[in-house]
Chain A
């Protein structure tokens, strides 16, 4: 029992599974967006943190260097002659300034060029890394007493009247407070940067969901539709997907039109076939009821003629279906226009003669290259020639001539089909191309021939005109563009 159900299940699930597999392989717009967003935000955050790290170090040095400079200058101010020797009376306030860096050890040394060591830490190396400039405070980091110490250095000339040479002061404090300040700034900034980054990523995730939601909505609405429902989508969409909605609606309305056209065509074709069938039936009944053999024979002859006409109509409908299918599916290719024209003339010549019409092809061209579909063009010519021959038989006087000609102009070829029949009234000239329009119902014809001609002409980007033939009759003129070989200069 279960293998069957399993089979059933697998049968129903197989397409779903395949779809899921395909879905796995195709790239996700959303994940790509999130991925790129995360990478970019991470890079920016890393740069920002790096910048903040350096900046906070500079900031800490900047602020604490001010304290150090202030303390150094206070010391410097108190260098002078005390009891006839160069000495320094370090002010308490100088170290009160330094005490603002709560926990930092303080080292200093004062010496003069004349007396050497005056006070401070004897083993402290006083020379700054750069050549000192007099009266200019210089800052540098140097290891001392097991710690990295920030030093300020100043050398100046003694200005007291009895003193000569220079005095050098070096004052340093450990970097504890600086590091603390820098790390607190960095910490705060890193917190903020990380928060912003997380918010940005969250926004991308949520935003991408929101952005794609209207698409999902359209998708869902379309999926939930009944198979035959081609009415326009009626949902609110934002600007970005508005055009998509409009395009879908437009496409659906075209589809709807096509379907309607097809339905009409089918209905009309059925109608077209029903009339001759009804006639056929009437003729057959007539034949059945005839008693005299001569009349019966005549009636049967009528049935045969009617069958021919019906067959012609069916052929025409079929040809039209083939042509329209070809026009939808095939691309045009360079062909010699003369080939289908000649072929159709040759095919129609005998039939025309039966009807007492002399069909002739006039052209001086060796070849006429156009972009087109040879089969469709041959169908077009056939319809036009059939039409011309049929109309030649109308009128008070039988016309005996139908002329097909192909003439070259600068950019196009013109095909002319000339008859000397009754002609078409001006107000009917535009309507003859309408499907199932028949100028005269007493003349045999499907009413689809010229409509098909118009379709083929349109498909080739050509134009068709109906003009009057002198002294009477109708001339169809078709202008079709020459095929230009691409010339590269």
Chain B
């Protein structure tokens, strides 16, 4: 019952957001065709790619709507028969895969998607175009003690510097962020005991929860937070390069690797251009561009032979989240309910 209320409130939230959200347009205003993309990607990382796309395809105008991963999932289901977007991009791999499993996507094949390794696509309906590490971001200036190398270090620091750390750790609200839930559930899957201790430590030290990555990064940079946990590597590395106060850490015990995946909704109005854009994202040029311009971590890093300074390599074991049916387990109704409720108990949070 509790969860249902939560879900209801979230759906209301989606509607409220949708009402206010306005898309960003790329390309000539009078272009013959319009491609609408709903995406959870930060526009900062994606805008250069969109500019390039409309430059190559002057007859296409792209509308880009930035939507939170969980809202994006809800929206795609709500718009099942008449989707507003012809392409849906999200880093919440599990929700994207569930959409495909439940029949919300359609098949697309092209010579470009055929080149994609089989673990970067599923059923030719959902395609990964980037693979990036999940990282911790630390404010170097204010972090007490040695910078953490892994989760155990973080736990020790929390125990050691309880006062300084209280209220200074931020991560996603797994109830509001799809990708936040995915990363949390994958943490629980990878190291259940560590995860248990982490949420306990987080909960007892007033964990700050957010909907979106950039807000966490902003707060870490400003010093409002000392550490952001489970952030997407592409955003974190961009900011860490520019901001000397920030240090990006790839946990040495294990580093989760998450894909950004795109799908074409079943009744998409402009399947052709959605496919064209997908091919564009997966093309050698754009995959290379992601790397050289430090926008994203490409799914096919091999296409750029030059080692760019932006490449980060995890020093510990990498745990890529598999784009297959296993993702459904994390989104199992009973499991999800228990996971969220144990999270809430740990955070001493009460549902609104």
In Å, the complex CA distance between A107 and B100 comes to 12
B164 close to A (CB within 8 Å): no
Over the window 319-344 of chain B, the binary record of Cβ atoms lying under 8 Å from chain A Cβ atoms (1 yes, 0 no) is: 00010111011001111001000000
Q: How many B residues touch the partner, as a band?
A: 20 to 34
B326 touches A96 (CB 8 A): yes
B101 close to A (CB within 8 Å): yes
Nearest-neighbour CB distance to chain A for B344, whole angstroms, equals: 13
B324 touches A102 (CB 8 A): yes
A103 close to B (CB within 8 Å): yes
CB-CB under 8 A for A106 and B101, given A90-B332, A119-B334, A119-B335 = yes
B123 close to A (CB within 8 Å): yes
B326 touches A145 (CB 8 A): no
Which residues of chain A have C-beta atoms less than 8 A from B123's C-beta? 103, 105, 176
B189 close to A (CB within 8 Å): yes
Which residues of chain A have C-beta atoms less than 8 A from B332's C-beta? 90, 119-120
List the A residue with the shortest CB-CB distance to B338: A82
B210 close to A (CB within 8 Å): no
A92 touches B329 (CB 8 A): yes
In Å, the complex CA distance between A118 and B332 comes to 10
A146 close to B (CB within 8 Å): yes
B333 touches A119 (CB 8 A): yes
- B290-342 at interface with A (beta carbon < 8 Å): 322, 324-326, 328-329, 332-335, 338
In Å, the complex CA distance between A219 and B193 comes to 95
B325 touches A87 (CB 8 A): no
- B54-69 at interface with A (beta carbon < 8 Å): none
Number of residues on chain A facing chain B (CB within 8 A): 26
Which residues of chain B have C-beta atoms less than 8 A from A114's C-beta? none
Contact pick for A99, options B103, B189, B325, CB 8 Å: B325
- A69-109 at interface with B (beta carbon < 8 Å): 82-83, 87-92, 94-96, 98-99, 102-107
B163 close to A (CB within 8 Å): no
B338 touches A98 (CB 8 A): no
A89 touches B335 (CB 8 A): yes
Which residues of chain A have C-beta atoms less than 8 A from B189's C-beta? 92
B334 touches A99 (CB 8 A): no
B329 touches A90 (CB 8 A): yes
A87 touches B334 (CB 8 A): yes
Contact pick for A95, options B118, B325, B334, B338, CB 8 Å: B325
B122 close to A (CB within 8 Å): yes
- B95-135 at interface with A (beta carbon < 8 Å): 100-103, 118, 122-124
List the B residue with the shortest CB-CB distance to A94: B329
In Å, the complex CA distance between A87 and B335 comes to 9
Nearest-neighbour CB distance to chain B for A459, whole angstroms, equals: 93
Which residues of chain B have C-beta atoms less than 8 A from A92's C-beta? 189, 326, 329
In Å, the complex CA distance between A102 and B101 comes to 12
Which residues of chain A have C-beta atoms less than 8 A from B334's C-beta? 87-90, 110, 118-119
Which residues of chain B have C-beta atoms less than 8 A from A118's C-beta? 334
CB-CB under 8 A for A98 and B325, given A118-B334, A119-B335, A120-B333 = yes
B329 touches A95 (CB 8 A): yes
A90 touches B322 (CB 8 A): no
Q: Which of B124, B189, B326, B334 has the most CB of A within 10 A?
A: B334
In Å, the complex CA distance between A154 and B207 comes to 43
List the B residue with the shortest CB-CB distance to A82: B338
In Å, the complex CA distance between A118 and B334 comes to 7
Which residues of chain B have C-beta atoms less than 8 A from A95's C-beta? 325-326, 328-329
Which residues of chain B have C-beta atoms less than 8 A from A88's C-beta? 334
CB-CB under 8 A for A106 and B333, given A82-B338, A145-B102, A145-B103 = no
In Å, the complex CA distance between A103 and B189 comes to 23
Contact pick for B103, options A83, A91, A104, A146, CB 8 Å: A146
Which residues of chain A have C-beta atoms less than 8 A from B101's C-beta? 105-107
In Å, the complex CA distance between A106 and B122 comes to 13
Nearest-neighbour CB distance to chain A for B193, whole angstroms, equals: 16
- A138-152 at interface with B (beta carbon < 8 Å): 145-146
In Å, the complex CA distance between A89 and B338 comes to 9
In Å, the complex CA distance between A319 and B195 comes to 130
In Å, the complex CA distance between A102 and B118 comes to 9
In Å, the complex CA distance between A83 and B342 comes to 11
In Å, the complex CA distance between A142 and B267 comes to 25
List the B residue with the shortest CB-CB distance to A91: B329
List the A residue with the shortest CB-CB distance to B322: A99
In Å, the complex CA distance between A82 and B322 comes to 28
In Å, the complex CA distance between A94 and B325 comes to 10
Nearest-neighbour CB distance to chain B for A153, whole angstroms, equals: 18
In Å, the complex CA distance between A156 and B322 comes to 32
Nearest-neighbour CB distance to chain A for B195, whole angstroms, equals: 14
In Å, the complex CA distance between A87 and B324 comes to 24
Nearest-neighbour CB distance to chain B for A117, whole angstroms, equals: 9
In Å, the complex CA distance between A146 and B102 comes to 10
Nearest-neighbour CB distance to chain A for B146, whole angstroms, equals: 34
In Å, the complex CA distance between A5 and B100 comes to 88
Which residues of chain A have C-beta atoms less than 8 A from B324's C-beta? 99, 102
Which residues of chain B have C-beta atoms less than 8 A from A91's C-beta? 329
- A346-368 at interface with B (beta carbon < 8 Å): none
Which residues of chain B have C-beta atoms less than 8 A from A110's C-beta? 334
B118 touches A99 (CB 8 A): no
Nearest-neighbour CB distance to chain B for A106, whole angstroms, equals: 5
List the A residue with the shortest CB-CB distance to B125: A103
Which residues of chain A have C-beta atoms less than 8 A from B329's C-beta? 90-92, 94-95
Over the window 154-178 of chain A, the binary record of Cβ atoms lying under 8 Å from chain B Cβ atoms (1 yes, 0 no) is: 0000000000000000000000100
In Å, the complex CA distance between A441 and B76 comes to 134
Which residues of chain B have C-beta atoms less than 8 A from A96's C-beta? 326
In Å, the complex CA distance between A63 and B123 comes to 21
In Å, the complex CA distance between A32 and B124 comes to 53
Nearest-neighbour CB distance to chain B for A265, whole angstroms, equals: 95
Which residues of chain B have C-beta atoms less than 8 A from A145's C-beta? 102-103
Over the window 208-230 of chain B, the binary record of Cβ atoms lying under 8 Å from chain A Cβ atoms (1 yes, 0 no) is: 00000000000000000000000
B325 touches A106 (CB 8 A): yes
In Å, the complex CA distance between A146 and B266 comes to 13
In Å, the complex CA distance between A54 and B101 comes to 29
Which residues of chain B have C-beta atoms less than 8 A from A90's C-beta? 329, 332, 334-335
In Å, the complex CA distance between A478 and B300 comes to 115
In Å, the complex CA distance between A82 and B335 comes to 11
In Å, the complex CA distance between A75 and B62 comes to 45
In Å, the complex CA distance between A107 and B328 comes to 10
Nearest-neighbour CB distance to chain B for A44, whole angstroms, equals: 39
List the B residue with the shortest CB-CB distance to A120: B333
In Å, the complex CA distance between A89 and B342 comes to 14
In Å, the complex CA distance between A82 and B338 comes to 9
In Å, the complex CA distance between A120 and B189 comes to 20
Nearest-neighbour CB distance to chain A for B162, whole angstroms, equals: 30
In Å, the complex CA distance between A104 and B328 comes to 12
Which residues of chain B have C-beta atoms less than 8 A from A89's C-beta? 334-335, 338
Which residues of chain A have C-beta atoms less than 8 A from B335's C-beta? 89-90, 119
Q: With A99-B322, A99-B325, A103-B123 given, can you name 10 additional A-B contacts, CB distance below 8 Å?
A: A90-B335, A92-B326, A95-B328, A99-B326, A102-B118, A102-B324, A103-B122, A107-B101, A119-B332, A119-B333
* Top 7 A-B residue pairs of the complex, sorted by shortest distance between their CB atoms: A119-B334, A99-B324, A119-B333, A95-B326, A99-B325, A103-B123, A105-B101
Q: List, sorted by A's number, 16 A–B pairs whose CB atoms are closer than 8 Å.
A: A82-B338, A88-B334, A90-B329, A90-B335, A91-B329, A95-B325, A95-B326, A98-B325, A99-B326, A102-B118, A105-B103, A105-B123, A106-B101, A119-B333, A120-B332, A146-B103
Residues of A at the B interface (CB closer than 8 Å) are 82-83, 87-92, 94-96, 98-99, 102-107, 110, 118-120, 145-146, 176
